[in-house]
């Protein structure tokens, strides 16, 4: 097996020498970041911050989203800031000297709100006991009712949530900036990038960028440490792909979210497609294969091509990557090379496969320009 390990190592070295696609990893803990680096990832292409708002922190997020007064919201934001800062410091340390793309919060809203049924049951139970229900429960039920969505995955998610909850994105950006300052002072080389999720219109991105610029300037001024973080966007809605030329006016980089882009291109639910009703549908042979399998077959590749061309027409130096599941799928990696992307980002364990496939794609010279 030493021979096998040696052969794989040689193949990887060879692939690294010829490939044009960079390979990053999706990671949101320092441990995953360190693991990804050992597998050869040259940075983090997607750090999903919503994973940092679960568990003990849920209460604070709930408080922030449902706050009735500025003081209540401030309280939640102040409590979250040091937690987020240390999340980012750890990841930037593990990926020192390499890009770390931190995506602003992108949860479907219902994941953070208290459960309506639970609240209603609590209120009814108090009434049944002849007691006065907790007024806070009644207020919460009312607030949650007002924010209820039938289709949360297509609702107040990503940038849409960020634009309606005051202070949310600025809190995250401040945490990133303060982590950059901390790492810089410790002699490190932090390379944070800020990514905005679920953008469908350039105006959304412009508004967030203005906030980001303001917060970065504030932190630089307070600390005396210059903080520069490129700002970019996910391209994960057909409208974003089709208006990429305008979106590129406000973006220093694009990253394709092929999970959502596939879902919205096909018009079915990514949460159900691999199980539930959809497996029935597939088993009956209506589709030749899972539409999530390769990007090209999914037709999503066409949208990728349009967005690359339009984005670079506006901004020739636009950095473009992919961070959906396709980023670690060999056939799709090949496609991304051909489409002219700069990097793919996949789960840490798939990094070696992506490196090999990127090398093979370069050797085949399938992009018509580069036949090293």
Q: How far is the CB of 300 from Mg ion (least distance, A)?
A: 13
Q: How far is the CB of 4 from ligand PEP (least distance, A)?
A: 33
Angle, helices 30-38 vs 70-94, to 10°: value is: 20
117 belongs to an annotated ligand binding site:
no
Whose tokens are 């790492």? That residue is 183
Window 202-241: residues binding Mg ion (CB under 5 A): 236
Q: How far is the CB of 200 from Mg ion (least distance, A)?
A: 12
Residue 331 DSSP label: H
H helices within 109-233, ranges in order? 116-128, 135-147, 158-164, 168-185, 202-223
What residue 216 binds from ligand PEP, Mg ion, none (CB within 5 to 8 A, per partner kind)? none
How far is Cα 103 from Cα 145, in angstroms, rounded to an integer?
28
SS3 label, residue 253: strand
For Mg ion, the binding residue among 257, 301, 328, 359 (CB under 5 A) is: 257
H or E stretch at 7: helix 2-18
Q: How far is the CB of 171 from ligand PEP (least distance, A)?
A: 20
321 belongs to the binding site for Mg ion (CB under 5 A): no
259 belongs to an annotated ligand binding site:
yes
Residue 267 · residue 306 · CB < 8 Å: no
200 belongs to the binding site for Mg ion (CB under 5 A): no
Q: What angle do CA 91, 24, 309 make, to 5 degrees?
A: 125
327 belongs to the binding site for Mg ion (CB under 5 A): no
Smaller CB separation from ligand PEP, 161 or 323: 323
How far is Cα 265 from Cα 215, in angstroms, rounded to an integer?
35
193 belongs to the binding site for Mg ion (CB under 5 A): no
Residue 201 CB burial class (10 angstroms; 0-12, 13-18, ≥19): middle
How far is Cα 315 from Cα 183, in angstroms, rounded to an integer?
31
Whose tokens are 């090379």? That residue is 337
What residue 46 binds from ligand PEP, Mg ion, none (CB within 5 to 8 A, per partner kind)? ligand PEP
Up-side HSE of residue 33: CA atoms within 13 Å toward CB?
25
What residue 102 binds from ligand PEP, Mg ion, none (CB within 5 to 8 A, per partner kind)? none
Smaller CB separation from Mg ion, 257 or 359: 257
103 belongs to an annotated ligand binding site:
yes
Q: How far is the CB of 27 from Mg ion (least distance, A)?
A: 16
Smaller CB separation from Mg ion, 171 or 261: 261
What residue 107 binds from ligand PEP, Mg ion, none (CB within 5 to 8 A, per partner kind)? none
323 as an active site residue: the answer is yes
Which residues, listed in sequence order, are joined to residue 263 by a DSSP beta bridge? none
What residue 250 binds from ligand PEP, Mg ion, none (CB within 5 to 8 A, per partner kind)? none
- Going by C-alpha positions, the residue among 325, 322, 323 that lies closest to residue 291 is 325
Q: Which residues bind ligand PEP (CB under 6 A)?
A: 46, 48, 106, 236, 257-260, 323-324
50 belongs to the binding site for Mg ion (CB under 5 A): no
56 belongs to an annotated ligand binding site:
no
260 belongs to the binding site for Mg ion (CB under 5 A): yes
What residue 258 binds from Mg ion, ligand PEP, none (CB within 5 to 8 A, per partner kind)? ligand PEP
SS3 label, residue 192: strand
Residue 369 CB burial class (10 angstroms; 0-12, 13-18, ≥19): exposed
Q: How far is the CB of 149 from Mg ion (least distance, A)?
A: 17
257 belongs to an annotated ligand binding site:
yes
Smaller CB separation from Mg ion, 260 or 357: 260
Give one DSSP letter per residue of 120-138, joined into a string. Answer: HHHHHHHHHTTPPPPHHHH
From 47, 229, 323, 346, the catalytic residue: 323
Q: Which residues are catalytic?
A: 323
Cite the annotated binding site for Mg(2+) by residue number. 236, 260
Residues that bind Mg ion (CB under 5 A): 236, 257, 260
């Amino acid at each position: 097996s030493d021979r096998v390990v040696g052969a794989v190592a040689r193949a990887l070295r060879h692939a690294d020498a010829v490939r044009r696609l960079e390979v990053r990893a999706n990671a949101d803990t320092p441990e995953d970041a360190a693991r990804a680096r050992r597998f050869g990832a040259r940075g983090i292409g997607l750090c999903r911050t919503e994973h940092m708002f679960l568990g003990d922190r849920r209460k604070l997020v709930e408080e922030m989203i449902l706050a009735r007064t500025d003081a209540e919201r401030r309280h939640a934001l102040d409590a979250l800031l040091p937690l987020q800062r240390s999340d980012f410091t750890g990841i930037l340390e593990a990926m020192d000297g390499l890009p770390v793309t931190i995506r602003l919060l992108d949860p479907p809203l219902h994941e953070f709100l208290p459960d309506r049924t639970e609240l209603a049951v609590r209120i009814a139970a108090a009434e049944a006991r002849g007691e006065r229900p907790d007024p806070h429960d009644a207020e919460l039920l009312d607030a949650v009712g007002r924010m209820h969505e039938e289709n949360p995955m297509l609702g107040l998610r990503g940038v849409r949530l960020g634009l309606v909850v005051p202070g949310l994105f600025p809190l995250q950006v401040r945490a990133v900036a303060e982590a950059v300052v901390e790492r810089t002072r410790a002699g490190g080389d932090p390379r944070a990038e800020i990514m905005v999720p679920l953008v469908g219109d350039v105006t959304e991105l412009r508004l967030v960028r203005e906030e980001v610029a303001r917060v970065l300037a504030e932190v630089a001024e307070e600390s005396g440490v210059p903080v520069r973080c490129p700002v970019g966007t996910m391209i994960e809605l057909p409208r974003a792909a089709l208006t990429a030329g305008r979106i590129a006016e406000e973006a220093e980089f694009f990253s394709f979210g092929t999970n959502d882009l596939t879902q919205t291109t096909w018009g079915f639910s990514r949460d159900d497609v691999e199980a539930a009703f959809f497996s029935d549908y597939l088993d009956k042979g209506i589709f030749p294969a899972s539409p999530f399998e390769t990007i090209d077959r999914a037709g999503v590749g066409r949208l990728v091509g349009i967005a690359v061309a339009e984005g670079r027409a506006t901004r020739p130096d636009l950095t473009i990557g992919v961070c959906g599941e396709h980023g670690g799928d060999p056939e799709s990696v090949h496609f991304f090379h051909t489409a002219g992307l700069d990097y793919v980002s996949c789960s840490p364990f798939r990094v070696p496969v992506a490196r090999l496939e990127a090398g093979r794609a370069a050797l085949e010279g399938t992009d018509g320009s580069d036949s090293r």
